[in-house]
């Protein structure tokens, strides 16, 4: 297969693992011809989080218009598409099945290869998409609503997880703290916004496991924030948010830079929804550069869930492993590894 996959290979990718319905057309693994994202945030916000059954139904309704827009915006005919990809996991089973079934159907109808993509692997590619000059080995901090991992990316498809959260994911901590402060869902963007008006030193919240290995923990921090607010109800939300965010970012920067030093990385890459965070972006750049590392930040649109990163990961997998069998299902608990073929 490898000889047929090149800079002009066009992949249509679908992403439906959680609460964004997305489709994208990418050429050669990094040339994004279109990237359409239809967010369900407004639908789920009234429930304070993603409701799986509601998500599956919303994906069903949104998918075909989103796919049509992606093809139209790319300015190509469907016949120009060389392969069709979809996120096969991890994620919500019903939501994943919508994208996987649609992509397999299109691949059958058009007689083109299908590629099942690992969503976590795709988040790693989001940073590389925006800066193709990055050299391996890299350390990638993957911080989303469901995952927090520090990954040693030695090459395409060659990863070792150096550290991970032992309890809450970073985005989950943001969402839970925001919910407690009645700031709405999702919590990350709103805490990010109001934290800029607050004092990050108002409360010195704990930096758990700061000196123990490369794993992280955010559950104690979340509890510390809740206890502090209970005892000090007069405290302004902006100061709580700024102090909470300072603790999260301090730990993430310290551990990621330590990991990069340990493996002799050429650079540090951020990925996942939380990497849209303003303080994380500026502090990782400042502290990473000070430690001698190039720091690559995906554009904000590439941080949160999108299908361009799925298409990019699909291009690399198609090149290395060939197509995925149409027996491929949806894998809600998929780890950072190849999708079962």
Q: To the nearest whole angstrom, how small is the minimum distance from the Cβ of residue 307 to ligand KG4? A: 12
In contact, 55 and 145? CB cutoff 8 Å: no
Contact 295, 140 (CB under 8 A): no
Q: By CB under 5 A, what part of segment 289-328 binds Zn ion?
A: 305
C-alpha closest to that of 260 among 178, 150, 158, 183: 150
Cα–Cα dist 219/248, whole Å: 11
Binding mask 64-103 for ligand KG4 (x = CB under 6 A): ----------------------------------------
Q: Say which residues have a Cβ less than 8 Å from residue 110's Cβ, sequence separation at least 6.
A: 78, 79, 81, 84
Among 89, 116, 188, 288, binds ligand KG4 (CB under 6 A): 188
Q: Shortest Cβ distance from residue 209 to Zn ion (Å)?
A: 24
Whichever of 159 and 244 has its CB closer to ligand KG4, that residue is 244
Could you give the angle at the alpha carbon of 252 between the alpha carbons of 264 and 259, nearest 5°? 15
User: From ligand KG4, Zn ion, none, which one binds at residue 304 (CB under 5 to 8 Å depending on kind)?
Assistant: ligand KG4
Contact 113, 318 (CB under 8 A): yes
Q: How many residues bind ligand KG4 (CB under 6 A)?
A: 19
Binding residue for ligand KG4, selected from 9, 21, 107, 144, defined by CB under 6 A:
144
- Would you call 321 exposed, middle or buried from its count of C-beta atoms within 10 A (0-12, 13-18, 19+)? middle
How far is residue 143's CA from residue 225's CA, in Å, rounded to a whole number?
20
* Residue 239 binds ligand KG4 (CB under 6 A): no
What is the DSSP track for 135-151? -SSEEEEEE-SS-EEEE
Q: Which of 30, 34, 107, 277 binds ligand KG4 (CB under 6 A)?
A: 277
Asked if 239 touches Zn ion (CB under 5 A), the answer is no
Q: With beta carbons less than 8 A apart as the criterion, state whether 168 and 218 touch.
A: yes
Site track 281-320 with ligand KG4 (rule: CB under 6 A), x = hit: -----------------------xx---------------
Query: What's 325's DSSP letter?
Result: P
The listed partner (ligand KG4, Zn ion, none) that binds 146, CB under 5 to 8 Å by sort, is ligand KG4
Hey, which residues between 112 and 171 contact Zn ion (CB under 5 A)? Answer: 144
| E strand or H helix at 133 | none
Among 225, 247, 274, 334, binds ligand KG4 (CB under 6 A): 274
175 binds ligand KG4 (CB under 6 A): yes
**Site map for ligand KG4, 197-236, x if CB under 6 A?**
----------------------------------------
Nearest Cα neighbor of 195 from 249, 234, 142 is: 249
Choose which of 267, 273, 288, 323 interacts with ligand KG4 (CB under 6 A).
Answer: 273
**Residue 174 touching ligand KG4 (CB under 6 A):** yes
From the CB of 305, what's the least distance to ligand KG4, in Å?
Answer: 4
Q: In sequence order, what DSSP letters do the residues of 79-127 get, joined into one string?
A: GG--EEEEEEESS-HHHHHHHHHHHHHHHHHHT--EEEEEHHHHHHHHH
Distance separating alpha carbons of residues 6 and 329, to the nearest angstrom: 27
Residues that bind ligand KG4 in the complex, under the rule CB under 6 A = 18, 144-146, 171, 174-175, 186-189, 192, 272-274, 276-277, 304-305
């Amino acid at each position: 297969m490898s000889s047929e996959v090149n800079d002009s290979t066009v992949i249509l990718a679908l992403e439906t693992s959680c609460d964004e319905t997305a489709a994208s057309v990418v050429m050669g693994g990094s040339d994004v011809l279109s990237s359409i994202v239809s967010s369900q945030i407004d639908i789920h916000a009234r429930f304070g989080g993603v409701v799986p059954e509601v998500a599956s139904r919303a994906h069903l309704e949104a998918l075909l218009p989103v796919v049509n827009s992606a093809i139209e915006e790319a300015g190509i005919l469907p016949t120009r598409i060389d392969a069709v990809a979809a996120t096969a996991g991890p994620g919500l089973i019903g939501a994943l099945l919508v994208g996987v079934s649609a992509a397999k159907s299109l691949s059958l109808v058009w007689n083109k290869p299908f590629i099942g993509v690992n969503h976590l692997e795709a988040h790693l590619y989001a940073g590389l998409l925006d800066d193709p000059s990055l050299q391996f080995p890299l350390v990638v901090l993957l911080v989303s609503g469901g995952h927090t991992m520090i990954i040693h990316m030695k090459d395409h498809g060659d990863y070792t997880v150096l550290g991970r959260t032992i309890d809450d994911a970073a985005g989950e901590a943001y969402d839970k703290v925001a919910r407690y402060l009645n700031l709405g869902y999702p919590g990350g963007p709103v805490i990010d916004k109001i934290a800029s008006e607050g004092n990050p030193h108002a409360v010195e919240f704990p930096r758990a496991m700061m000196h123990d290995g490369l794993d992280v923990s955010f559950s104690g921090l979340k509890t510390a924030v809740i206890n502090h607010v209970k005892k000090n109800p007069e405290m302004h939300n902006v100061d709580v948010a700024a102090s909470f965010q300072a603790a999260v970012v301090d730990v993430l920067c310290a551990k990621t830079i330590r990991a990069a030093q340990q493996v002799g990385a050429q650079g540090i890459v951020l990925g996942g929804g939380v990497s849209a965070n303003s303080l994380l972006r500026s502090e990782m750049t400042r502290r990473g550069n000070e430690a001698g590392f190039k720091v690559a930040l995906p554009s904000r649109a590439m941080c949160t869930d999108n299908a361009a990163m799925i298409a990019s990961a699909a291009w690399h997998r198609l090149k290395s492993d060939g197509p995925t069998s149409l027996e491929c299902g949806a894998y809600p608990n998929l780890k950072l590894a190849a999708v079962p073929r």
